[in-house]
């Protein structure tokens, strides 16, 4: 749902997640990303106080989609964050219920729902989360993203073929070295990377960001 007005025609939507500082933000914007993700989950190594960071986030280019990543938020928190003027959309990365998501959609909030993938059965009988944008990420215990591990991409490919009206964003274990192969195999609406462009949790590598975006762009442009 948050990709509608941000995806360049014929290109894969590229999002860098786990942004915690201005330097990494500049590197990502300069590389040509479509979206930046800010992690609001307090237990995360990439947590950011979104209100303290407001001064520099609100000055980002309007064409960059600013996404607040939340996991199992209560209704008051999700409403507070969604009403921040510098946040364009939410990314729900917990065990949010279809009913909770329906309330968000009815409130006019743009959001995507992440689904953890373990095996082929992870993507069967998916309930209606009231969004057309789903993020498929690697499941790993209590972690909800940024694991650096990929799940078998054929599961995402099959799910996309079975649900052609959904926008599938592929995450989990992506990096500059494998993103081209992932795009060719899955044909997703978008790709989302966190640890694959980091030197340490919450600290990005500008050259790896650039390499990731270039690999994704070249692959999607060639397929167009």
Q: Which residues are catalytic?
A: 17, 137
**Cα 119 to Cα 144: distance, rounded to the nearest angstrom:** 16
What sections of the chain are H helices per DSSP?
A: 22-31, 54-57, 75-82, 98-106, 153-162, 179-186, 206-223
How much is the CA Rg of the chain, to the nearest whole Å?
16
Tell me, letter by letter, the H, E, C secondary structure of 2-49: CCCCCCCCCCCEEEECCCCCHHHHHHHHHHCCCEEEEECCCCCCCECC
Residue pair 209/197 in contact (Cβ under 8 Å)? The answer is yes
Name the one residue in this structure whose structure tokens are 């799910």: 159
């Amino acid at each position: 749902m948050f990709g509608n007005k941000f995806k360049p025609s014929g290109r894969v939507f590229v999002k860098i997640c786990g942004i915690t500082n201005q330097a990494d933000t500049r590197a990502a914007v300069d590389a040509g990303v479509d979206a930046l993700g800010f992690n609001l989950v307090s237990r995360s190594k990439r947590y950011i106080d979104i209100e303290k960071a407001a001064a520099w986030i609100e000055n980002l280019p309007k064409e960059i989609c600013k996404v607040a990543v939340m996991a199992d938020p209560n209704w008051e928190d999700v409403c507070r964050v969604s009403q921040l003027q510098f946040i364009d959309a939410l990314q729900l990365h917990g065990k949010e219920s279809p009913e909770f998501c329906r309330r968000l959609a009815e409130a006019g909030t743009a959001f995507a729902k992440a689904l953890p993938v373990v095996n082929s059965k992870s993507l069967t009988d998916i309930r209606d989360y009231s969004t057309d944008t789903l993020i498929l990420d690697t499941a790993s215990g209590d972690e909800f993203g940024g694991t650096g591990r990929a799940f078998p991409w054929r599961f995402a490919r099959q799910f996309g073929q079975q649900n052609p009206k959904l926008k599938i964003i592929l995450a989990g274990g992506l990096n500059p070295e494998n993103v081209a192969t992932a795009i060719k195999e899955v044909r997703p609406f978008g790709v989302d990377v966190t640890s694959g462009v980091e030197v340490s949790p919450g600290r990005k590598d500008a050259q790896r960001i650039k390499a990731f975006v270039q690999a994704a762009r070249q692959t999607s442009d060639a397929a167009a």
